[in-house]
Amino acid sequence: MSRITKRAPGRASSRQSAPGAALPFARAGVVGPRLQALINSTNVAARIAGDPIELPHRYRDPLDIEVAALLSAALAYGRVDLFKPRLAALLKSLGAAPGAVARDRSSKQLLALCRGFSYRMTGPAEVAALLAGAGRLAREHGTLGAAFARMFQSAGEPTIRGALGLFVDALTTNDSGPTSRRLKHLLPHPARGSACKRLNLFLRWMVRGPDGVDFGLWRDIPAAALVIPLDTHVHRIAGLVGLTSRTDLSWRTAEEITSRLRALDPIDPVRFDFSLSHLGISGSCPSRRDESKCVGCPLRSICKHWS
Ligand code: SF4
């Protein structure tokens, strides 16, 4: 049974507003109930076990959760069965308090701790640089959430786009020369048009909830300002149900889908993301008319293959 719920009352007043624009969405009354049915049918416990968010859920201290979540989201590219074991080993090498390690260790010490890590385009240098950047923010602001809240206020934009750019700048600023190509891959910048799926995933984890999936740690950021973490699964299924007709995996497409989701839930538009992405990740959506797989799909009546 799903625990992905609508936002609970009593949150900070900034959470009650809807800062991003909602696109006119004539099908909202039809699509909204079907997406809610998809949420209701999602086996959250089973899906979390195969999701990188399971790793930060192993911690209790907010800074440990933030640093474990930043690593887990940034490295969540490719196949989960390939990157998750390497992430788990990396976190193990950082000990029980990865937040304190990032905050208190030198860049050289962080590099030594990460020396066994390797996953596709990412090696020890990039992971250590990410930890060093997180450590700098923790030393300056206490938590990554406090740093991001200041950036959100400073950017003064209705969505998190501007603040995310400032966050990436702060994480990648270092004394040892220009940011490497590999670190740019790990931390893409929204100003370059990337959908920044993994960073928007990290923000969803930190800002939404708590609801059994997302942590709800960053209470000063309105969930309404989030942008959907756009991966190939969400993009494909969003196209099937009429949330977008755009064909590129870009920031603009992520904004368009989020704007339509705001027409369904102006306070918490990305609460649909976990169920949409796992419909794709689980292999349950064939993206074609297939009676054997589509028979129980809650989206069938709004899917372009059937309607
Ligand atoms: S009806 Fe079938 S193709 Fe359409 S979204 Fe559901 S599983 Fe995917």
User: How many angstroms does the Cα of residue 291 sit away from the middle of ligand 1?
Assistant: 9
Strand pairing partners for 252? none
Count Cβ neighbours within 10 Å for each residue of 77-101 and write b for 16 or more, e otherwise: beeeeebbebbeebbebbeebbbbb
Between the CA of 299 and the centroid of ligand 1 the distance, in Å, is: 6
Look at ligand 1, atom 4, and give the residue with the nearest C-alpha: 303
| Phi, psi (deg, nearest 5) at residue 78 | 85, -155
Distance 34 CA to ligand 1 centre (A): 12
Atom number of ligand 1 nearest to Cα 290: 2
Distance CA 96, CA 269 (A): 34
**Ligand 1 within 6 A of CB of 294:** yes
**Spacing, Cα 280 to ligand 1 middle (Å):** 9
90 lines ligand 1 (CB under 6 A): no
**Pocket flag, ligand 1, residue 138 (CB < 6 Å):** no
Query: What's this model's pTM, rounded to 2 decimal places?
Result: 0.92
Mapped onto helix, strand or coil, the DSSP state of residue 250 is strand
Residue (of 256, 268, 289) closest to 22 by Cα position? 256
Q: What is the pLDDT along the chain (307 residues), one digit of tens a residue?
A: 444 555 443 344 333 444 566 677 889 999 999 999 999 999 999 999 989 999 999 999 999 999 999 999 999 999 999 999 999 999 999 999 999 999 999 999 999 999 999 999 899 999 999 999 999 999 999 999 999 999 999 999 999 999 999 999 999 987 565 668 888 889 999 999 999 999 999 999 999 999 999 999 999 999 999 999 999 999 999 999 999 999 999 999 999 999 999 999 999 999 999 999 999 999 999 989 999 999 999 999 999 999 8
**Which tokens hold the place of 66?**
């933030």
pLDDT digits (tens, 9 = 90+) for 117-160: 999 989 999 999 999 999 999 999 999 999 999 999 999 999 99
Domain ranges of the chain: 13-302
- pLDDT, tens digit (0-9, with 9 covering 90-100), for 2-28: 445 554 433 443 334 445 666 778 899
Is the Cβ atom of 240 under 6 angstroms away from ligand 1? yes
Peptide bond into 210 cis (omega under 30): yes
CA 29 – CA 9 distance, rounded (Å):
23
- State whether the beta carbon of 102 lies less than 6 angstroms from ligand 1: no
Q: Whose CA is nearest to atom 1 of ligand 1?
A: 300
Which residues sit opposite 122 in a β-bridge?
A: 119
